Amino acid sequence: MTGWKSSALPRADKSRIMKPTMKKLKIADREFGSRLIVGTAGFPNPQAMRESLRASGAEMVTVAIRRANLDNGSDENILTYLKEDNYDILPNTAGCYTAKEAVLTAQLAREAMGTNWVKLEVIGDDETLFPDVPELLKAAETLLDDGFVVLPYCNDDPITCRKLSDMGCAAVMPLGSPIGSGMGIRNPYNIRIIREVTDVPIIVDAGVGTASDATFAMELGIDGILMNSAISQAKHPVTMATAMKLGIEAGRLAYEAGRIPRRLYANASSPLEGIIDVDTNS
């Protein structure tokens, strides 16, 4: 059997290799190259926040309206940094416990920030931070009637997600696990059902703790992830932001590529034709 000389092998022209890229995420009338949305709370300092957001590649960031200094009277005003870096700002009704509170907060954000986009949160209690579904549905309906583009944070419940989608929400944002828990995607089967029963983008919101959680979530076929604590509370937030960016890209590309089916037994990848037939009786 003759061997090949390495010099005889043609070299691949790497300049001609097309690297695959993710499809853009479309929510309502906007398109985003990144499928990662990042919150702005809990960073050690403003500089760590800015560097982490840049490392994440995110184009949209959330701001809790009760935290923002809307009168621009402070050098530490979070909105100043975000506007300087040209992010799309998504106001967040975090900390609201009734539909009335959430609606008033969203209206304040629209007046002060000039956007009709809102991440809608209506929380049921301080301990679990799970959504109050009846109040959430009521607030969503009111805001939609008032001309808002509504992205509601909700339970990983296919029925609730379908109701929110059917009433006209621009996306649904089911939790992967409780806010700040870092427990990852606790019920992937519900997420897959939500993917089947809703026509709007699905953004997993809450619970992602590390890059493998993000990759797994994206492989389920969701459209994006919103996270905050996983980056802001990491030992090295900028490094974690980079890891999350890469994890989301890997998961989405894997989903778009189409994985092989799972099998209980082995399935040889090499062809069986041409295998040497050895006479074991001689």
Q: Which of 19, 26, 119, 235 is catalytic?
A: 119
Closest of 124, 154, 115, 118 to residue 137, by C-alpha: 154
Closest of 138, 201, 214 to residue 174, by C-alpha: 201
State the pLDDT at residue 270: 65
Q: What is the pLDDT of residues 72-91, one digit of tens each?
A: 554 457 888 888 899 999 99
Closest of 256, 208, 241, 184 to residue 61, by C-alpha: 241
The pTM score is: 0.85
Cα angle at 9 between 4 and 15, to 5 degrees?
160
Which one has a higher pLDDT value, 80 or 40? 40
Please tell me what DSSP assigns to residue 245: H
Which CATH code, of 3.60.15.10, 3.20.20.70, 3.20.20.140, 3.30.530.20, is assigned to 34-257?
3.20.20.70
For residues 10-34, one letter each, b for 16 or more C-beta atoms within 10 angstroms of the residue's C-beta and e for the rest, the string is eeeeeeeeeeeebeebebeeeebeb
Beta strands of the chain (E only): which ranges?
25-27, 30-32, 36-39, 60-64, 88-92, 117-120, 149-154, 173-174, 203-205, 224-227
Which one has a higher pLDDT value, 66 or 79? 79
State the pLDDT at residue 1: 45
Q: What is the pLDDT of residues 204-221, one digit of tens each?
A: 998 899 999 999 999 999
Please tell me what DSSP assigns to residue 186: S
**All structural domains of the chain with their residue ranges:** 34-257
State the pLDDT at residue 127: 84
235 among known catalytic residues: no
Band (pLDDT 50/70/90 cuts) for residue 5 is low
State the pLDDT at residue 275: 63
69 pLDDT exceeds 60? no
Task: Give strand pairing partners of 38.
Answer: 61, 227
Other CB atoms within a 10 A radius of the CB of residue 138 amount to: 17
198 pLDDT exceeds 70? yes
Cα angle at 173 between 152 and 208, to 5 degrees?
135
Question: How confident is the model over 57-67, as a mean pLDDT?
Answer: 89
Band (pLDDT 50/70/90 cuts) for residue 11 is low
4 pLDDT exceeds 50? no
Q: What is the enclosing helix (H) or strand (E) of 170?
A: none
Mean pLDDT, the chain, as a whole number?
Answer: 88
For residues 222-260, one letter each, b for 16 or more C-beta atoms within 10 angstroms of the residue's C-beta and e for the rest, the string is bbbbbbbbbbbbbeebbebbbbbbebbbbbbbebeeeee
